[in-house]
Amino acid sequence: MTLKNTFKTAIIGLSTHKSRSVLTILGIVIGITAIMLVMALSQGATDLILAQIQGLGSQTIIVRAGAEPKGPSDFASIFTTSLKDREVEALRNPSLVRGVVSVAPNVIGSGTALYAGETKNASMLGTTPDILQALEIYPTHGVFFNDADVAGRASVAVLGYEVKKELFGESDAVGQTVKFADRNFKVIGVFGKVGQIGAFDIDNNIIIPATTANQYILGANHYTVIMVRVESESVVETAADDIRLTLRELHGITDPDKDDFFVATQADLAERVGTITGVLTALLISVAAISLIVGGIGIMNIMLVSVTERTREIGLRKAVGATTANILNQFLFESVILTSTGGVIGIALGAMLSLGMSFALTQFLEIDWGFSFPIAGALIGFGVAAFIGLVFGIYPARQASRKSPIEALRYE
């Protein structure tokens, strides 16, 4: 019997028990769908995070206070006060940091902004005018505060798009006074819709001079993040090394493992994101793979039942000339067809659900969550489905092929 005839016979065998065949492949469909969803959403999340990181600009280097957290026990290190005015001035020195163009120290906080009875929970970003060059953003209305405002600890503010919209609606906010953290601030500028740039959600921020934030709101004298802008991408790594050496010299650190700061370039951040999302994706795929194993066991169980039910059919086929190999191939084909069909359905269903979830996330969360068809997920899913059909179909197929034709024909 040719493989073509064996394939046709397997199809006929499955079509005589349509309901059972559909229920059998359900476990495979669920498993492959889950894998497709995980891989598509993981890729979407990775692309979104990388887009935000790239929004910082490839020429921007991030310096954070505290040692780089490498585990839950290191989280408290980010609250250290290792970055102060002394460090900012040192990083501005071109003889210490080659290629430096601007240095923007930042502090962050949160509070409630009030205007004429309207309130808005907002994040606070205390910074300097150099932030404009680092983030490559500029107010659409009014102006940004200047170095004199920073030096004089002026009570001036630039509002993000959502803060302005919530407090002032469509009216012009420039020149008005907003109360934030029990202090009045004159609005001198407003940003258009910018969105998330790195760790900063500009739209929901009230941006004030760093000196004002430290003295009147936070009561501190240090910075959370320093953003260093260099003249070109080609000097980013060199400048990052200079920053590390400069800060170690200032802090008397000889062992890099004892750094009380950490420096990250866009490439570093992208690598970290890739590592984290890769680990999470592998973990979730492992969980989803359990349903494939369960589905494979279900297929083996159903195939064993099918072998028992079709004992007389097996005996009759052997009596008219079917060989052991023919019977083995028939039942093995049935198993592989079931799992492969489940794989194809799972891929299609997973792709449709992923597309729908990407659309929903974009609409309801107002973020640019793109959809990309996970080709690797589809290939892995289909390959695994066919492999499971082969592995879990071998035992039932062998049981069928080893039946004696005489005993099979006598079976009631």
Nearest-angstrom CA–CA distance, 218 and 182 = 12
- Residue 38's Cβ-count burial label (10 Å; 0-12, 13-18, 19+) is buried
**pTM score, two decimals?**
0.60
pLDDT digits (tens, 9 = 90+) for 279-312: 777 777 777 677 677 777 777 777 776 666 666 6
**pLDDT at res. 22:** 76
Nearest-angstrom CA–CA distance, 153 and 381 = 60
Token pair, residue 137, equals 């953003």
Return all residues near 324 (Cβ < 8 A) that are at least 6 apart: 401, 402
> Which of the residues in the chain have pLDDT under 50?
72-78, 411
* Other CB atoms within 10 Å distance of the CB of residue 255: 7
**pLDDT at res. 367:** 66
**pLDDT at res. 155:** 95
* Other CB atoms within 10 Å distance of the CB of residue 360: 11
**pLDDT at res. 134:** 79
Q: Which residue has the tokens 């890729």?
A: 43
**pLDDT at res. 59:** 81
Report H helices in 16-160: 18-54, 85-91, 130-135, 147-151
**pLDDT at res. 74:** 47
Token pair, residue 119, equals 């309130």
pLDDT digits (tens, 9 = 90+) for 232-251: 878 888 998 999 999 999 99
Backbone φ and ψ of 107, nearest 5°: -125, 150
CB 343 within 8 A of CB 381: yes
DSSP conformational letter for 67: P
